[in-house]
């Protein structure tokens, strides 16, 4: 085959393969790394074929450089996608931490009314029914639950299925937030979205409890970590949600604080047992601050876990 005929095919391969690898990276970072390895073998085969077909037109050095550039381009695109997703997830955790810390500032500055105003931004329960400790518990419960479904779950589904998995999860989570309640208008769609959201959050809820326990051990000491894990294993089933009980019970144990219990949503009383009932009931703004510290430590552990997983998959 003349060099003029072979050249377009080889050039097309070096253009198409990085695009293909980048596309795969959108589905899964791990899959992209596998394809990069497969492409290395394919590039070697192309190089050998070209050298046989048109040795004068394509030197071994030229093809090796082209193959290396192709793999580098694909890796850069895949890495950029990964960094963008990780950054988006951890920007969300920063926003969550800021909103919860604002409740502590509101309590310190303006008392119960200031705390109620701040906590109304992040919880669905009626803030007018909350006293000071109730405001603190509501903020900490929201922090714990949203750590699982707002930080851990997106990172988990991106690691499993890339951007399509992440986007599918966020769409499902949004549908649950909007119509995932069993009212008369949305009972069919609401039931489906709520159950699918429970299924999608099942792994993240349990991972989040473990991360909170580890973070409590690192930030608050061995006893806090032990109580956190013990409370999660013992009390997670006391929550009406099959998932939210895991991170909330873990945080309750970490702070040695009673969480959940009776509360009011939209004027409707919800009766639940207290998680970590042996803990303190007199929560204050300092517990919110400690909870946020544990939350950020858990986010750091999650980031370390994600990076370790990617590095492990690259070998």
| Residues 214, 210: Cα–Cα separation, whole Å | 6
Tell me: pLDDT of 295 over 60: yes
Report pTM. Answer: 0.73
pLDDT category of residue 207 using cuts at 50, 70 and 90: very high
Q: Which two tokens stand for residue 282?
A: 């007199």
Give the distance, in angstroms, between the CA of residue 27 and the centroid of all CA atoms in the same chain.
16
What is the pLDDT, as a whole number, of residue 135? 93
What is the pLDDT, as a whole number, of residue 260? 86
What is the pLDDT, as a whole number, of residue 246? 97
Tell me: pLDDT of 210 over 50: yes
Q: What is the mean pLDDT of the chain?
A: 77
57 or 272, higher pLDDT: 272
Of 7-16, 48-57, 67-76, the range with the highest mean pLDDT is 67-76
3-state per-residue secondary structure call for 61-118: HHHHHHHHHHHHHHHHHHHHHHHHHHHHHHHHHHHHHHHHHHHHHHHHHHHHHHHHHH
Instruction: Count other C-beta atoms under 10 Å from residue 287's C-beta.
Output: 21
| Residues 118, 130: Cα–Cα separation, whole Å | 12
| Residues 109, 103: Cα–Cα separation, whole Å | 10
For residues 122 and 102, is the Cβ–Cβ distance under 8 A? no
Kindly report which listed range (12-21, 60-69, 97-106, 267-276) carries the lowest average pLDDT score.
12-21
3-state per-residue secondary structure call for 165-191: HHHHHHHHHHHHHHHCCCCCCCHHHHH
Tell me: pLDDT of 310 over 70: no
What is the pLDDT, as a whole number, of residue 109? 93
Strand partners, 274: 260
């Amino acid at each position: 085959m003349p060099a003029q005929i072979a050249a377009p095919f080889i050039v097309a391969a070096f253009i198409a393969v990085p695009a293909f690898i980048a596309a795969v990276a959108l589905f899964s970072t791990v899959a992209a790394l596998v394809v990069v390895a497969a492409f290395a073998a394919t590039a070697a085969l192309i190089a050998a074929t070209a050298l046989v077909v048109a040795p004068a037109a394509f030197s071994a050095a030229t093809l090796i450089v082209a193959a290396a550039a192709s793999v580098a381009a694909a890796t850069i695109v895949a890495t950029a996608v990964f960094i963008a997703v990780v950054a988006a997830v951890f920007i969300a955790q920063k926003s969550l931490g800021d909103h919860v810390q604002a409740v502590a500032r509101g309590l310190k500055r303006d008392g119960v009314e200031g705390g109620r105003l701040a906590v109304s931004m992040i919880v669905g329960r009626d803030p007018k029914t909350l006293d000071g400790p109730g405001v603190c518990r509501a903020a900490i419960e929201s922090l714990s639950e949203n750590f699982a479904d707002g930080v851990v779950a997106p990172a988990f589904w991106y690691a499993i299925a890339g951007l399509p998995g992440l986007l599918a999860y966020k769409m499902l989570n949004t549908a649950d937030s909007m119509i995932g309640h069993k009212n008369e208008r949305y009972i069919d769609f609401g039931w489906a979205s709520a159950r699918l959201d429970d299924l999608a959050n099942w792994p993240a809820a349990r991972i989040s409890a473990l991360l909170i326990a580890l973070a409590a051990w690192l930030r608050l000491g061995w006893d806090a970590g032990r109580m956190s894990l013990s409370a999660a294993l013992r009390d997670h089933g006391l929550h009406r949600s099959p998932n939210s009980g895991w991170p909330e019970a873990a945080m309750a144990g970490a702070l040695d604080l009673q969480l959940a219990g009776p509360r009011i949503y939209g004027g409707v009383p919800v009766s639940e047992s207290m998680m970590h009932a042996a803990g303190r009931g007199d929560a204050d703004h300092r517990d919110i601050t400690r909870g946020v510290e544990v939350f950020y430590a858990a986010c750091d552990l999650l980031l370390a876990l994600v990076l370790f997983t990617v590095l492990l998959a690259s070998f």
